[in-house]
Structures are given as structure tokens and as C-alpha cells.
Amino acid sequence: MSEHKKILVTGGAGYIGSFTTRLLLEEGYQPTVLDNLSKGHRQAVGEARFIKADLLNKPQLESIFREDSYDAVMHFAALASVAESIEDPASYYQTNVTGSINLLEAMLDCGVKKIIYSSSAAVYGNPEETPIPESHPKNPINPYGETKLAVERILEEAVEPLGLGYVSLRYFNAAGASQDGTLGEDHSPETHLIPRILLAALGQIPQVEIFGTDYPTPDGTCIRDYIHILDLARAHILALEALSPGKAKVYNLGSERGYSVREVIAVAEEITGFSAQGKKIPAAQAPRREGDPEVLLASSDRAQEELGWQPKKSSLEKIIHSAWKWHKEHPGGFAE
Ligand code: UFG
């Protein structure tokens, strides 16, 4: 293991943060989770040390960094729904941008100079080329993407003058659950495609809507690059090793395979046994959802070459299989 042992994990009770926290523990790191539990789940934190705190409470953040020493920060905490960001952009700027500035100021004041940042494919907007390389122009088409890009730029500005070292990870579509079925996705309300398909299969929602069937794609529905949550978590461990003060790195994390909404539903029908019984998961055509790019497909060559990262678990079948186990065994999510 590197010199990075004590890690402060903001948003470690959320979906991607909790999986990464679990992997940090398994690999012998000492993660401390900081989460305000507005979206996250205390049960998802597991054995890790936990501090309930809010990034908008700057004095609280300052005392957290004064009371303990950290080798690096992993910064997951954010509001992360595109649709919600269109309805309420101010909250997104406040939580995602002001919260990140508070965190950076507090950590730098205490001499913590290394951070892994959760960025998003949403910084690219509608792609001009596919698969998307990291050098692609950044043109977000929704406030969520704008806030993720704004923080990337703030990080960039802190490298030279302040000696900050960062790795920014641009996630494509995170999905799936742990193989043992004990950790998974639990958003309220759930807006993501794969969980909504599985909730419809379980009868927990009446149907899944297919948002837009008139996109210029082969079957008219949006194409996304789904990446297994365990592959995402692994990338954070590898990124820790790439961190050093005064150095900036940006990586896309995707599987480099695109699936349309209809294709995802078809694979889910196979995995859930609906097809075998000659049944369909209830689905209905619906208008386009505002802020959705038509195709998002990653080039992850850079992460593969420089970090030695491989998306090993990211076949859509494996992703949906693990998510299905989680949803079947935890119909109430973490609440039960
Ligand atoms: N979709 C449906 N029906 C649903 C839910 C989603 O048809 O009930 C479609 C969406 O229109 C989209 C695709 O399925 O085309 C995937 O949608 P998700 O909501 O699962 O994921 P997004 O692609 O919108 O969002 C993800 C991340 C965001 C990130 C975004 C990048 O969750 O954090 O990718 O644009 F910003």
C-alpha cells in the first residue's frame, strides 16, 4: 500500500461512496466516512468510522480536519440527479460547488493536498465524437453537469498556486450491486433506468417509462455506457496510487459498450426470467426527459493505460444479475 492510508470519504454513505468505502476497508485502508445522510444510508457505511457532517457547515469541516490527520480525500458527496438539477439549479450549485469549495479550503488549510473527485460524463453534454475521450470539449447541457465541470475547473486552479494534487474520475452510468447481495442502489425516489426496470419487474412500480423513442439511434432510444459499481470502486483505489501533490489527472470510467434503453430492458427480461415465461416487464413509451444526451459512450483508454484499470465486471448481464439479486433480497432497500 502507498503512503495513502487514512482517507476521508465524503458521501461515503451514498451509492458509489459506500462501495468504495467497503473496498478501502478490504484493502487495509482506514476510511472515515463523512455524510449528511440527506440521500445516503447509515447502514451502507458498514464498519467504517462515520461522522455525520455537512459540507455546507464550514466550521464543522474545519474542526474535522483539525482533529485528525488524513492522507487524502475522496469526494463523492453531491446532489446527482439531472432532472432535479433542472428544477432546482441553486441547490445543485450550493451543494456541489460551494460544498466542494468549503471542503477544499478546509483540507488545504490543514495541509491535506490530495483529492479524488467524483466527476461525470455529464461534463461533455451531447458528444461531438463517440467514444468520448477526456480531451472532448466540455459542454454540459444541464445544471448538474455544469456543477461537476465548475468543480473540475476549481481543482485545476488550485494545482499551481496551492500544490493541490487531484484525480478527477468522470463516471459514465454506474450500476449493479455487490455479488453477495448485501450492498446496492437505494435512491428515493429512484430515477435510474436499471433499478426502475427491476422495480417494475418486482411490481413495486406499475411500469418503467421509456423516455424518448425518437432519438437518432438505431432503435430510437438513448444509448448509455453502464459500468459496474465494483469496477468503479476499484478505479478509486488505483487512482489513490496516482495521487501526488501538484499533479492533476482526469480519467473517464466506462465499459466502452453502449446499450439502448430498449436493449437494457431486453437483457433484464432475460435475467429476471420474464422471457423464459413469455412475459414482458411492464414498460411504456414516454416523451424525452429534459437534459438527456442521446448517446454517452466512454473511451477509457487513458485509465486502462495509466492506472492499469480494467472494467472486468461490466458486462450488462453481470450488472443486471447483481442488481436483480439486491432488489429481490432488499425490496425496501436499506430501510428494512
Ligand atoms: N431512462 C428511461 N426511463 C427511466 C429512467 C431512465 O428511459 O425510468 C433513460 C434515460 O432517459 C437515459 C437512460 O435511461 O437515457 C439512463 O438514465 P439514468 O437516469 O439511469 O442515468 P443518466 O444517464 O440520466 O444519468 C447518469 C448519472 C448521472 C449523470 C448522467 C450523465 O446517474 O449522475 O449519467 O448524463 F449525470
| 267-280: pLDDT as tens digits | 999 999 999 999 99
Instruction: Tell me which residue has its CA closest to atom 34 in ligand 1.
Output: 173
Q: Percentage of the chain with pLDDT > 70?
A: 99
Cell numbers describing residue 186: 437505494
Q: Does position 336 have pLDDT exceeding 90, yes or no?
A: no
The pLDDT of residue 198 = 98
- 307 confidence band (pLDDT: 50, 70, 90): very high
Q: Does position 3 have pLDDT exceeding 90, yes or no?
A: no
The pLDDT of residue 1 = 54
The pLDDT of residue 141 = 95
The pLDDT of residue 55 = 98
SS3 at position 323: helix
Instruction: Tell me which residue has its CA closest to atom 33 in ligand 1.
Output: 80
Residue pLDDT, tens place only, 279-288:
999 999 999 9
- 124 ligand 1 Cβ < 6 A: no
DSSP code of residue 298: B
Select from 210, 77, 224 the least CA-distant residue to 147. Answer: 77
User: Which atom of ligand 1 is closest in space to residue 145's alpha carbon?
Assistant: 36
Q: Does position 187 have pLDDT exceeding 70, yes or no?
A: yes
State mean pLDDT over 225-252.
97
Q: What is the mean pLDDT of the chain?
A: 97
The residues, ordered by sequence, that sit 6+ positions from 145 with a Cβ below 8 Å of its Cβ are 82, 120, 122, 123, 124, 125
- 57 confidence band (pLDDT: 50, 70, 90): very high
State mean pLDDT over 45-56.
98
State mean pLDDT over 79-97.
97
- 289 ligand 1 Cβ < 6 A: yes
Neighbour count for residue 191 (Cβ, 10 Å) = 14
Q: Does position 164 have pLDDT exceeding 90, yes or no?
A: yes
The runs of H, that is alpha helices, within 53-129 are: 58-67, 82-87, 89-92, 99-109
SS3 at position 316: helix
- How many CA atoms does the CB half-sphere of 336 hold within 13 Å? 10
Residue pLDDT, tens place only, 93-151:
999 999 999 999 999 999 999 999 999 999 999 999 999 999 999 999 999 999 999 99
- pTM, to two decimals: 0.97
Instruction: Tell me which residue has its CA closest to atom 16 in ligand 1.
Output: 193
Q: Percentage of the chain with pLDDT > 90?
A: 97
Cell numbers describing residue 126: 451531447
Ligand 1 centroid from CA 192, angstroms: 6
Beta bridge partners of 117: 75, 168
Select from 330, 298, 286, 312 the least CA-distant residue to 191. Answer: 286
CA–CA gap between residue 176 and residue 206 (Å, rounded):
22
Measured at the CA of 26, the angle between CA 226 and CA 240, to 5 degrees, comes to 65
